[in-house]
Amino acid sequence: MKYVYKPGDEILSSYPFVHVTEPSQRGIVCDHCLHKNIPSPAARQLAKIFVKLKKLDPNDIVEDVLGQKRSLSDLVSHAEDIEEDAERTQQFVEIWCTLEVFLGEAWLPPLRVGLEIFDGHQQLQHL
């Protein structure tokens, strides 16, 4: 039987027997599926907060709310509650580790400050 192929026809499709990523692509794509490693929206949002706060003092960022000046320092800290809650601690650790890879340690605040910012981020998500 003779096959007739037209330009653009797929003749054969298969998966590679093995594959590896180039060293320059490590951390950019998944080693297993080669899909781009894109942090979650929460991690990306915290990354933006960390970058912004690296340049500014958090107490200098104020907003007028119903005639009163409010800043991040006005938020009540629930960091201890996060440390006692295994699920929320796990969320923080996952985001923190992602941001270590994504941003690099130079852009991360001290761990306790990062936890406070994560806490404030969580509070603001529920408003």
Can you give the pLDDT at residue 110? 87
Can you give the pLDDT at residue 47? 92
Task: Per residue of the chain (127 residues), give pLDDT as tens.
Answer: 688 889 999 988 888 888 888 888 887 888 777 788 788 888 999 999 889 888 887 777 888 889 888 877 777 778 788 888 889 889 899 999 999 988 888 999 888 888 888 887 776 665 5
Backbone angles phi, psi at 65, to 5 degrees: -120, 110
* Cβ atoms of residues 58 and 73 within 8 Å: yes
Can you give the pLDDT at residue 126? 57
SS3 content of the chain, % helix, strand, coil (to 5): 50, 10, 40
Can you give the pLDDT at residue 123? 66
CA–CA gap between residue 68 and residue 103 (Å, rounded): 34
Can you give the pLDDT at residue 74? 77
Can you give the pLDDT at residue 99? 92
Tell me the DSSP string of 78-124.
-HHHHHH-HHHHHHHHHHHHHHHHHT-GGG---HHHHHHHHHHHHHH
* Cβ atoms of residues 58 and 77 within 8 Å: no
pTM (2 d.p.) = 0.63
CA–CA gap between residue 76 and residue 91 (Å, rounded): 20
